[in-house]
Amino acid sequence: MDPSVIATRLGAAALQPLVRKLLVADGPGAGVVERPVRMSGWLSFRGEKKQLSEKDLHKLASELVRRAVGPLPSSDRPAEDETAATAHALAFTLHALGDLDMDDIHAVELGEGKLADRLKEKVPPATFLFLSQDAVVLHDAVLRVACRHILEFFSQRSTFVARSLVEQTRRQGLIRSDTSTLLDRLPSIDSRDAEFEARYAQQVIRRHSELTIYGLDLRHAREWQLDTAYISLETETRQGPAVPVPTERILAGRDRVLLRGLAGSGKTTLLQWLAVSTAREKLPDELGALRGRIPFVLPLRTLARGKLPRPAEFLSSVSFPLTEPSGWAERVLTAGRGLLLVDGVDEVPRDMREAARQWLHQLIASFPERNLWLVTTRPSAVHNDWLQSDTFEELSLMPMTEEDIAAFIRRWHAAAHAGNERAEALLMAVRTKPYLGELAVNPLMCGLLCALHRERHGFLPEDRKELYDAALAMLLERRDLERGMHRPGDLRIGKEPQIALLQRIAHWMVRNDRSEMGRDDAHAVLAEHLPSMTHIDADAESVLRYLLDRSGVLRQPTADTVDFIHRTFQDYLAAKAIVEARDFPWLENNAENPQWEDVIRMAVAHGRPDERARILRGLVPVLNDPRPPEGSSPGRPQLHFQRARTAPASRSVRGRRLPLRRVLLARSCLDHAPEVDSMLQEHILLLTRDLLPPSSHGAARRLAEYGGPHLITMLPGPDDLDDDQAEACVITATRLASNAAIAYLAGFRTHPSLAVRRQLAWSWHRFDCTTYADEIISHLPEDDELYFTAASTEHLLALRAMGDRARIQILGKHHPGDLASHLSPERLTHLWLREGYTTVFRSMNWLARFPRLRTLVLPRPPHPLDAHTIPSSVQVVFTHQEGPEPLAP
């Protein structure tokens, strides 16, 4: 096939409309034409504006290839199988557009040829391993034309030219400034400035290189080394589509940033880290914008106690122990060498926030050139675009990921010299106990868990109520008190009144089936209850603002709504209000709604013994039988219970069918009840006796469906279970798909039953690939009948990292090139292709890569294939089996 023939016959009119489908017309435009836009933000098959599925992308690639070969003379057209294989490879290559780390201007500068080469580099080489030379030529030709139209799309946008000019000017400026930046940022010729800045840098490092943990009931010291305790988090842009930005790059390409974050999300810690990193002058490339700068850490809660300072007063206003040379701060800012870290707009009294904004505005107007500004606040403290007139870009700190939480816990324990074993024990507890994981939402709450765990010598409260009490005490009272936030005359509301007010808001949300509340409704609820709280001398608006700004529990996601920082606190506070209001019928009526199960559990925890019994009887009514059975003590009412060994979706009491969800909820409530009447407890345990362990595969699946994540704590361990019961328990746990389930399943990974281990291997695709591989798959012993199931390329790569396996089952559709690349020729002896095993080929020639392969398992009826292309040494087995594995292929 002649590439020149293809190139001359590929018409723009034929391919351009199809290529345009890869891009979104209403994507994240440049808006103000200051910066290039990311290519990945315009793709129709990636991100928030996803319009094409992967299946659609494959169809589009097939149509591109079909239109490309259509005009070719018959002598130049590839065979049908080759055309399909080319389309499959093209889909993979086009999908790599989303992996390119470049903007539109960079892409256009590359040109269509180099862009096509970059895309091919992102695709595994095995994608092209089984293409003929003609198919590769066809693929490259179509790809190049597609790249031409993609670049044309960007270059013809009205904002592109303006952005290009801006970018060109910026780059020229960078070239000029690179040679003079350090000179510009060096101290003035005055040797006194140079000597002072060296002393100042050392003092900044000493002053800010420790973290202070406020609000924790600890006897231990609360100062932790910043180097060990700090972890990098992510922020996201607030204008347009949210784009994640690592905290190290928060000032890369941004001169002025307003950073919003909830209480304890790490705002102050970030400022300390930036100040110390700058003072040390040992900066990685991502912090290059800070080289040669002088950091000023300006906590507004301290500054606001007096008149907001002029530059000459920056150091004295924060009680800095050094005396600067006269006019030094102004010289630094005039030279554009300043890094101004302004912390805590929310910590300024509301009537002073406008003055703080004007103070910032005047400073920026006086020193407009090249200084960097980072201002922090809680989200609700100032309105959107509060600093827009001074061209501040707004970012928000994002919640911690599981990886962030693990890193924080390990570093916290290292900083506290608390030992790695204790860190790993806490990490396991957070992963396996949902109520702990729900609290670990930011560095402050993670710090609380670490501190409590250390203080209690490795034992956290099993009582969720006690843990939430400790968290609320820290957030609502101790933290602000220890930070010295309260001044004479300020509104101050104690912990208990705050809890009472927050309860009313939470109760309203639960009663009205809402996870957020209109601001007007919140105002009305507070106004209704404030008259009974005579010690609070403030109106509803002031109280609502106080709760939003200072409680750390309530937030304002939009101008018109409020909600809780986590559903955990809403459920906990609502349950307390429901018990106090004796709203027990509502609990009974909503017992089958999984959304409110945690409210019911917490209501049981909050209730007194008689209230607790009433809630539980509302879930599973107890009927007293006046006739004592033989051998029982006279006078004691006995439970009448009829066990139903069938219909596991419900239980029966005196002919009344109880939904399975109610029975399991009542059983889980026992774990949160410090005291329950023995007869009532016996009744609930009898109801669940036949449910746990499940008696069949169907019962195991229904348990998982109705039991929810808390069911994992009720499942019996591998001891004292026969093989069938163990398999059923594993089926239930694998369908719960949580970190707690992984910890439970780890107890079965060396179980003697092959059926149990097959279920473990089969269920990998339901969990995080890496975690499940480390905890389960890597520990499963290989034997003559266990297949390891891989549902994605990630699973195949994980198996390679473990040293490969001889028996592998493939789920889903995989290109033969992927299998050839990621399966081990040296180890593979048995391969089961569960479905879609010939997505584009009838030929199975690629199996020749595996000389040790002896058995190939395929589903029936098989896809048409050429049996002559299967190596003669390979036995083919067809199976109808629906379970996780064939019995004996």
pLDDT the model gives residue 422: 85
Average pLDDT of span 277-297: 84
Q: For Cα atoms 333, 338, 344, give the angle at the middle one, nearest 5 degrees.
A: 115
The fraction of the chain above a pLDDT of 70, given in percent, is 75
Average pLDDT of span 385-393: 87
In this predicted structure, the answer to whether residue 576 has a pLDDT above a threshold of 90 is yes
- What is the C-alpha to C-alpha distance for residues 682 and 622, in angstroms, rounded to an integer? 10
107-111, 183-187, 359-363, 393-397: the lowest-pLDDT one: 183-187
pLDDT the model gives residue 696: 85
Contact 839, 818 (CB under 8 A): no
- What is the C-alpha to C-alpha distance for residues 286 and 247, in angstroms, rounded to an integer? 10
Would you put residue 119 in left (φ > 0), alpha (ψ -120 to 50) or beta? alpha
Average pLDDT of span 568-577: 89
In this predicted structure, the answer to whether residue 26 has a pLDDT above a threshold of 70 is no
Residues 763-818: tens digit of each pLDDT = 998 888 888 898 899 999 887 689 999 888 888 888 888 888 999 998 876 777 77
What residues form DSSP beta bridges with 38?
103
In this predicted structure, the answer to whether residue 338 has a pLDDT above a threshold of 90 is yes
C-alpha of 104 from chain center: 28
Q: Cα–Cα distances in Å, from 753 out to 134, 699, 772, 773?
A: 52, 20, 20, 20
Q: Is 823 helix (H, G, I), strand (E, B) or coil?
A: coil
From the list 800, 822, 850, 799, the residue with the least C-alpha distance to 124 is: 822
Residues 526-562: tens digit of each pLDDT = 998 888 887 787 888 888 988 887 777 887 877 788 8
For the chain, what percentages of helix, strand and coil (3-state, to nearest 5) are there? 55, 10, 35
pLDDT the model gives residue 706: 79
From the list 107, 175, 182, the residue with the least C-alpha distance to 147 is: 107
Name residues whose C-beta falls within 8 Å of residue 42's C-beta, 6 or more positions apart in sequence.
23, 24, 27, 28, 104, 153, 154
Contact 603, 578 (CB under 8 A): yes
- What is the C-alpha to C-alpha distance for residues 665 and 597, in angstroms, rounded to an integer? 7
Sign of the torsion angle spanned by Cα atoms 406, 407, 408, 409: positive
Average pLDDT of span 448-459: 75
pLDDT the model gives residue 183: 46
54-63, 492-501, 675-684: the lowest-pLDDT one: 54-63
Sign of the torsion angle spanned by Cα atoms 428, 432, 436, 439: positive
What rounded mean pLDDT belongs to the chain?
Answer: 76
From the list 230, 236, 232, 248, the residue with the least C-alpha distance to 285 is: 248
What residues form DSSP beta bridges with 50?
none
C-alpha of 694 from chain center: 33
Write phi, then psi, for 807 (nearest 5 degrees).
Answer: -115, 120
- 231-245, 344-358, 727-741, range with greatest mean pLDDT: 727-741
In this predicted structure, the answer to whether residue 824 has a pLDDT above a threshold of 50 is yes
pLDDT the model gives residue 312: 92
Output the six-digit token pair for 693: 């362990």
In this predicted structure, the answer to whether residue 718 has a pLDDT above a threshold of 50 is yes
The model's confidence at residue 339, banded by pLDDT at 50, 70 and 90, is: very high
Residues constituting the chain: 889
In this predicted structure, the answer to whether residue 730 has a pLDDT above a threshold of 90 is yes
- Domains of the chain plus CATH, in order, are 3-166 (no CATH), 191-398 (3.40.50.300), 399-442 (no CATH), 460-575 (no CATH), 582-689 (no CATH), 782-879 (3.40.50)
Beta-strand pair 517-518/561-564 = antiparallel
Average pLDDT of span 574-599: 88
pLDDT the model gives residue 268: 84
pLDDT the model gives residue 94: 84
In this predicted structure, the answer to whether residue 374 has a pLDDT above a threshold of 90 is yes
In this predicted structure, the answer to whether residue 10 has a pLDDT above a threshold of 60 is no
The model's confidence at residue 627, banded by pLDDT at 50, 70 and 90, is: very low
pLDDT the model gives residue 761: 92
Average pLDDT of span 374-395: 85
pLDDT the model gives residue 64: 82
The model's confidence at residue 653, banded by pLDDT at 50, 70 and 90, is: very low
The model's confidence at residue 172, banded by pLDDT at 50, 70 and 90, is: very low
Average pLDDT of span 399-427: 81
Q: Cα–Cα distances in Å, from 428 out to 84, 170, 568, 596?
A: 48, 49, 20, 27
Average pLDDT of span 405-414: 83
Residue for token pair 């087995």: 877
Beta-strand pair 244-246/234-237 = antiparallel
pLDDT the model gives residue 488: 55
Q: For Cα atoms 500, 265, 436, give the angle at the middle one, nearest 5 degrees.
A: 65
> Regarding predicted confidence, which is higher, 527 or 319?
527
> Regarding predicted confidence, which is higher, 66 or 599?
599
pLDDT the model gives residue 14: 53
Could you write out the DSSP letters of every residue in 446-513? HHHHHHHHHHTTT---S-HHHHHHHHHHIIIIIHHHHTT---TTS----HHHHHHHHHHHHHHHHHTT
319-323, 482-486, 581-585: the lowest-pLDDT one: 482-486
341-345, 560-564, 592-596, 642-646: the lowest-pLDDT one: 642-646
From the list 244, 608, 227, the residue with the least C-alpha distance to 395 is: 244
Q: Which amino acid is at 288?
A: G
Q: What is the dihedral of CA 748, 753, 758, 763, to 10 degrees?
A: -30
pLDDT the model gives residue 560: 81
The model's confidence at residue 728, banded by pLDDT at 50, 70 and 90, is: very high
Residues 42-86: tens digit of each pLDDT = 666 655 555 667 677 778 888 888 877 776 767 667 777 778 888
pLDDT the model gives residue 478: 55
